[in-house]
A = this chain, B = another copy of it.
Amino acid sequence: MSPEDALREAIVSGRLLPNQRLVEADLTRTLGVGRSAVRAALARLEHEGLVEHERNRGARVRLVEEREAVEILEARAALEALAARHAATRAGEADIADLRRILSEMRCLLDRGDLLSASDQNAVLHERLLEIAGHATAGRLISTLKSQLVRFQYRTILVPGRSERSFAEHGRIVDAVAAGDPDAAEAAMQTHLSHVAEALRGAESR
């Protein structure tokens, strides 16, 4: 595993706490690579928004607090709506079948009460939509935004009734894409993610 991936994994998994200092010498030992590699990894992670870096003061794990999480989710919504629009115009028969397959998998997991796996399948659906959209720029931006939100990704699934509503929203997105209706797909994605933001705010303020 590259030092960058190892560090990212350690941060997003929560093994490293927010605001914790990341001393290069320590990371050199922990990751088993030279200091140059560590520095390069830190520089990239800074660009991804996972660490903060002050000159001559080193790097620390960046803390994304609620206000910013909402911002990031808004930006992500705007970009995923764009992607959904593209997906609606480009999806072929096989793509649509694939999306429906993922949906039924989700239905199955929900019926079993496996909320965690359902949430993962959720991510798979979004990923597949991006692939269908074929929009490299949006894809790149969304993936960096998502990595900043990992800490919040499971926070909404315990909100009562959220899973079912989320499933219904995903159904509407897939329907719009299958119908080849860009406007509907964009709108469906937009409302879906705005509901996620709402749920996040609700879950957070408790």
List residues of A whose CB falls within 8 A of some B CB: 39-40, 43-44, 47-48, 68, 71-72, 74-75, 78-79, 81-82, 135-138, 141, 145
Contact = CB atoms under 8 A, between A and B. Distances in A.
Given A43-B43, A43-B44, A44-B47, A78 B82 contact: yes
A72 B48 CA distance: 18
B44 A75 contact: no
A135 B68 CA distance: 9
Given A78-B81, A141-B141, A135 B71 contact: yes
Contacts of A40: 39, 43
A135 B74 CA distance: 10
Contacts of A141: 75, 141
Contacts of A47: 44, 47-48
A137 B78 contact: no
A72 B135 CA distance: 9
A75 B82 contact: yes
Given A47-B48, A74-B138, A78-B138, 6 more contacts: A43-B44, A71-B135, A74-B137, A75-B135, A78-B78, A137-B145
Given A79-B78, A79-B79, A137 B44 contact: no
A46 to B, nearest CB: 9
A150 B64 CA distance: 31
Contacts of A82: 74-75, 78
Q: Which 6 A-B pairs have the closest CB atoms?
A: A78-B78, A71-B137, A47-B47, A78-B82, A75-B137, A72-B137
A100 to B, nearest CB: 27
Contacts of A68: 136-137
A82 B78 CA distance: 7
